[in-house]
């Protein structure tokens, strides 16, 4: 018999509608699961059993009356502790943030979920201010991989990925400034989607500027489409948000990939050394797209690694994050973050504008590339999950997390929609992810391609973790 914690959000809503179980049943099961996994993976900074059960009771009453509040009424949801949630402190992984405060405002995506009746289970872990591609912080410790707790869950939305993978709620809100939704999704074997910039409103504005996106972290593409229907509604607090979406992201989700033009770039033109097990799993996923009728061609977008420009923008943003802290509190932050903040503070306005020039050129190149190809497919990452508690793989010789994430951050620079889909495991049983990228505003095409992959093999050979 299927456990309630194994059901997707789409299945939960269907079950509520049919009266097969109630939001209270599901919320109790999810809370038990969250409490079980917390000592193992450290996915949460806060659980709210009392608030979640009260919300579930209210939802159950609405369902009994046949009056659900919205698309995800009664569905358990978790929120990365970067996003504001009314009634809960938002620590952002930092000892420099005081628990004292009003905490009386929801971020736009959280507000939309509340309006649609979602049940908020808890806040999930993040590295300090979301600064790196793994999840550990001086305040909340190390978040571990559901498939092997000695390995990292990735980051910076690592707590959300671990929670979803282990059944502590089917939906989670993550943020992605350089891969922070897609990296942990790949390491934990779930679906992660970074929509087009502005598709999901963000408030307060990120110090990392227009690199920062909010995105769904879910069991599959269908759940992500459902969640995106909720959180993509405009919000006046974000001056850069996009207008309303005509229709639903679920419309045409099962349309398949027949006739789509797919560029398969296994290593970005030889720039990235990809581990053989990762390369093989991604190649197999690309083969599945071809078998489903996509026109697949090995082709590279032909751009030089924009890491220096990304560093200029990212490190400057980090410096801005801590600039407003009193000197005494700056000593509390992660030493690695303190290091990049010092580097960011040394950049000049001309350095920053030169990085913007690189960004605009890259965006133009990708715009032209997508006149020929509907999709670009790459590995999500060149490696699988490495040891927990470190920024880079041991003995890699790398200095910063960007050294092992060359497939993700370029598409934050260009603001394109990009998703990670599980596509297999390596020899140690650790998940591998394939990345699907489309032109700006073509979010539905990414979701449709991901849905097609899920349709030909549940999570494409990635087993559910047992930890």
In 3-state terms the chain splits into helix, strand, coil percentages (rounded to 5) of: 40, 15, 45
308-336 mean pLDDT: 92
Q: Give catalytic status of residue 22 as yes or no.
A: no
CB 284 within 8 A of CB 276: no
β-partners of residue 364 are none
In this structure, the strands spanning 295-298 and 418-425 are unpaired
Q: Give catalytic status of residue 80 as yes or no.
A: yes
Token duo for residue 442 = 């073509």
| C-beta neighbour count of 2 within 10 angstroms | 7
Sequence-separated (6 or more) residues with CB below 8 Å from residue 459: 189, 220, 422
Where does the pLDDT of residue 329 fall: very low under 50, low under 70, confident under 90, or very high at 90 and above? confident
283-302 mean pLDDT: 97
Dump the DSSP string for 107-174.
-HHHHHHHHTT-EEEEEE--SGGG-SSS-EETTTEE-EETTEEEEE--SSSHHHHHHHHTTS-SEEEE
Exactly one of 59, 94, 96, 156 is catalytic; name it: 156
Alpha-carbon distance 408 to 406, whole Å? Answer: 6
User: Domain for residue 467, yes or no?
Assistant: no
Query: What CATH number corresponds to the domain at position 75?
Result: 3.90.1300.10
Where does the pLDDT of residue 101 fall: very low under 50, low under 70, confident under 90, or very high at 90 and above? confident
Angle 215-216-218 from CA coordinates, rounded to 5°: 155
Cβ-in-10-Å burial (0-12, 13-18, 19+) of 239 comes to exposed
Where does the pLDDT of residue 391 fall: very low under 50, low under 70, confident under 90, or very high at 90 and above? very high
Exactly one of 22, 157, 160, 180 is catalytic; name it: 180
Does the model's pTM come out above 0.85? yes
403-416 mean pLDDT: 98
Check whether 459 has a pLDDT greater than 60: no
Helix (H) or strand (E) holding 393: none
User: Domain for residue 466, yes or no?
Assistant: no
37-57 mean pLDDT: 98
CB 83 within 8 A of CB 175: yes
187-205 mean pLDDT: 97
In this structure, the strands spanning 375-379 and 261-264 are parallel
Closest to 6 (Cα-Cα) out of 142, 170, 231, 149: 170
Q: Give catalytic status of residue 267 as yes or no.
A: no
Instruction: Give the chain's end-to-end CA distance (angstroms, integer).
Output: 19
Helix (H) or strand (E) holding 380: none
Exactly one of 22, 59, 80, 137 is catalytic; name it: 80
Alpha-carbon distance 186 to 194, whole Å? Answer: 13
59-87 mean pLDDT: 98
Check whether 300 has a pLDDT greater than 70: yes
CA atoms within 13 A on the CB side of 437: 29
Alpha-carbon distance 226 to 10, whole Å? Answer: 8
| C-beta neighbour count of 233 within 10 angstroms | 17
Where does the pLDDT of residue 330 fall: very low under 50, low under 70, confident under 90, or very high at 90 and above? confident
Percent of the chain residues past pLDDT 90, beyond the cut: 94
Alpha-carbon distance 127 to 133, whole Å? Answer: 8
pLDDT digits over 126-184, tens only? 999 999 999 999 999 999 999 999 999 999 999 999 999 999 999 999 999 999 999 99
Check whether 460 has a pLDDT greater than 60: no
Q: Residue 444's domain spans which residues?
A: 4-461
Using DSSP, state whether 364 is helix, strand or coil.
helix
Please count the structural domains in the chain: 1
User: Domain for residue 322, yes or no?
Assistant: yes
User: Domain for residue 63, yes or no?
Assistant: yes
Check whether 462 has a pLDDT greater than 70: no
Where does the pLDDT of residue 80 fall: very low under 50, low under 70, confident under 90, or very high at 90 and above? very high
pLDDT value, residue 303: 97
Check whether 51 has a pLDDT greater than 60: yes
Alpha-carbon distance 211 to 68, whole Å? Answer: 35
42-51, 59-68, 322-331: range with lowest mean pLDDT = 322-331
Q: What is the mean pLDDT of the chain?
A: 96
In this structure, the strands spanning 144-145 and 418-425 are unpaired
pLDDT value, residue 327: 79
């Amino acid at each position: 018999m299927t456990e309630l914690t194994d059901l997707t959000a789409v299945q939960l809503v269907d079950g509520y509608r049919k009266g097969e179980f109630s939001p209270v049943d599901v919320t109790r099961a999810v809370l038990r699961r969250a409490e079980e996994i917390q000592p193992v993976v450290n996915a949460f900074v806060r659980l709210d059993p009392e608030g979640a059960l009260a919300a579930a009771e209210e939802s159950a009453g609405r369902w009994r009356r046949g009056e659900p509040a919205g698309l995800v009424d009664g569905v358990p949801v978790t929120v990365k502790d970067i996003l504001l949630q009314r009634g809960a402190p938002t620590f952002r992984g930092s000892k420099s943030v005081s628990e004292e405060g009003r905490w009386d405002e929801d971020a736009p995506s959280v507000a939309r979920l509340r309006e649609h009746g979602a049940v908020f289970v808890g806040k999930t872990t993040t590295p300090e201010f979301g600064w790196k591609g793994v999840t550990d912080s001086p305040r909340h410790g190390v978040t571990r991989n559901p498939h092997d707790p000695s390995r990292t869950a990735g980051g910076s939305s690592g707590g959300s990925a671990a929670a979803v993978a282990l059944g502590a709620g089917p939906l989670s809100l993550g943020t992605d400034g350089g891969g922070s939704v897609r990296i942990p999704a790949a390491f934990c074997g779930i679906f992660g989607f970074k929509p087009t910039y502005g598709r999901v409103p963000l408030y307060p504005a990120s110090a990392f500027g227009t690199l920062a996106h909010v995105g769904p972290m879910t069991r599959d593409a269908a759940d992500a489409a459902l969640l995106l229907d909720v959180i993509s509604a405009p919000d006046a607090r974000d001056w850069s948000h996009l207008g309303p979406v005509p229709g639903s992201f679920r419309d045409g989700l099962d349309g398949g990939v027949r006739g789509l033009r797919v560029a398969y770039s296994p290593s970005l033109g030889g720039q990235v050394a990809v581990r053989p097990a990762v390369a093989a799993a991604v190649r197999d996923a690309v083969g599945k797209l071809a078998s489903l009728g996509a026109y697949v061609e090995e082709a590279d977008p032909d751009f030089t690694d924009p890491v220096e420009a990304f560093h200029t923008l990212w490190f400057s943003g980090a410096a801005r994050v801590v600039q407003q802290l009193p000197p005494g509190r700056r000593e509390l932050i992660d030493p690695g973050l303190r290091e990049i903040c010092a580097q960011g503070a040394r950049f000049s306005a001309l350095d920053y504008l030169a990085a913007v020039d690189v960004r605009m050129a890259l965006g133009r190149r990708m715009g032209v590339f997508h006149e020929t190809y509907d999709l670009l497919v790459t590995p999500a990452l060149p490696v699988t999950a490495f040891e927990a508690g470190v920024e880079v793989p041991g003995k890699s010789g790398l200095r910063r997390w960007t050294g092992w994430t060359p497939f993700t951050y370029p598409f934050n620079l260009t603001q394109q929609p990009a998703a990670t889909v599980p596509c297999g495991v390596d020899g140690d049983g650790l998940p591998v992810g394939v990345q699907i990228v489309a032109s700006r505003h073509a979010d539905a095409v990414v979701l449709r391609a991901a849905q097609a992959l899920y349709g030909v093999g549940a999570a494409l050979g990635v087993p559910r973790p047992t930890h």
